[in-house]
């Protein structure tokens, strides 16, 4: 789904969302970021969270950071620093999304 189709607005930095889903009496959709990758390898990081129709994010299922590590080969020093920076940026973004959590 494109960002234009997402109402309410996506949290800052989100790239898209899924269709609305119903779990018992709770309506939600998954919002997510694009995967940020390390140059020269396939390692990457992205975020996802559950969003309610009022625009808040789920407190019961907080923002998750997913790390994809391709294969078991070594990283260079530069790639290691790049992955560390991507993780730090993802953690900062996850903290920002935490401010959007519902108060329930």
DSSP characters over 22-35? EETTEEEEEEEPPP
Domain spans, the chain: 3-98
- Identify the residue with better confidence: 81 or 5: 81
DSSP state of 10: P
The pTM for the full model equals 0.85
Residue 67 in contact with residue 48, Cβ under 8 Å? no
Whether the predicted pLDDT of 100 surpasses 60: yes
For 35-84, how does the pLDDT look when each residue is reduced to its tens digit (9 = 90+)? 999 988 889 999 999 999 999 999 999 999 999 988 777 889 999 999 99
* Whether residue 11 has pLDDT greater than 70: yes
């Amino acid at each position: 789904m494109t960002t234009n189709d997402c109402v309410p607005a996506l949290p800052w930095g989100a790239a898209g969302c899924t269709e609305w889903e119903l779990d018992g009496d709770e309506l939600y959709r998954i919002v997510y970021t694009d995967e940020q990758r390390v140059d020269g390898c396939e390692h990457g990081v992205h975020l996802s969270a559950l969003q309610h129709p009022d625009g808040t994010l789920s407190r019961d299922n907080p923002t998750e950071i997913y790390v994809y590590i391709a294969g078991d080969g070594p990283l260079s020093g530069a790639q290691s620093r790049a992955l560390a920076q991507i993780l730090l940026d993802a953690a900062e973004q996850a903290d920002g999304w935490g401010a959007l959590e519902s108060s329930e």
